[in-house]
Amino acid sequence: MLALDWLLRKSLGGSLYWIQEHFYELGNRTNIWLLCGLQHDVVIDMGLGLCSLLTTSTSCENSRFGDPLAWTELHGAYIPACVPLPGCCFGDPPVGDVISLGDRQLTVMHMPGHSRGSICLHDKDRKILFSGDVVYDGSMIDWLPYSRVSDYVVSCQRLMELVDRGLVEKVLPGHFNIFGAERLYRLASNYISQAGVCHKVSTCAMRSIASIALRVTNSRVTS
């Protein structure tokens, strides 16, 4: 299958494109964001069909790493070499770093919880937040082996603070649809209110099951 058959691209204006792999299962389909700048272009998350050591991933899940040839065939975009790979598989994220595209800047915000290295990218001038897996309009996953509820609560508090300070008007998440500041505040506050003792116990149980499943899978691959 050609990249043009696999990927759908929608222009959101302002040299911003929303790309999806429309043949992939909807519940785990990754939103891929392309920002075209005056000096550099950047891809935020790669899905299954896009991957490069010079792209930026907001998490370390397998739905975010794919084939670089698909990207080159579709867009021929150049990705700046200064863009880090800050997922939990690659060490500590460069907190506070700024990715400059020439006419716009993206600030790296460490938002652990879903994974230890989860990040958001914040376009302060345009009040846009690329939230990755940190927050999206659905059930937030905090039961993976590398998830931590207490960190997630702190990250949600920071998200609410961004809204209170008027620094976010639009959220471009890693999954599902785009939403605004009011919805972001509600999602973050709802998570905090539900992150009690019972939730933490059930999360620990789910994490244990997920960890066992990963070990079994890995043993099959290596055997």
Token representation of residue 190 = 């709802």
What pLDDT shows up at residue 220? 63
- What fold characterizes domain 3-222? Metallo-beta-lactamase; Chain A (3.60.15)
| Higher per-residue pLDDT: 135 or 201 | 135
Amino acid at 177: N
The band of 109, judged by pLDDT with boundaries at 50, 70 and 90, is: very high
CB atoms within 10 A of CB 102: 12
The band of 145, judged by pLDDT with boundaries at 50, 70 and 90, is: confident
Report the DSSP pairing between strands 170-173 and 128-132. Answer: parallel
- CA dist list (Å): 13 to 82, 123, 133: 25, 15, 23
Helix 149-164 vs helix 197-222: crossing angle, to nearest 10: 120
Maximum separation of any 2 CA atoms in the chain, in Å: 53
φ and ψ at residue 72, rounded to 5 degrees:
-60, -40
What pLDDT shows up at residue 198? 52
What pLDDT shows up at residue 24? 73
Q: What is the DSSP letter of 173?
A: E
pLDDT in tens, 64-75: 444 443 333 333
Q: Which residues contact 208 (CB under 8 A, 6 or more apart)?
A: none
Q: Which residues contact 55 (CB under 8 A, 6 or more apart)?
A: 42, 43, 44, 46, 71, 79, 83, 85
3-state secondary structure of 163: helix
What is the model's pTM? 0.75
What pLDDT shows up at residue 168? 98
- What's the average model confidence in pLDDT over 158-185? 97
The band of 50, judged by pLDDT with boundaries at 50, 70 and 90, is: low
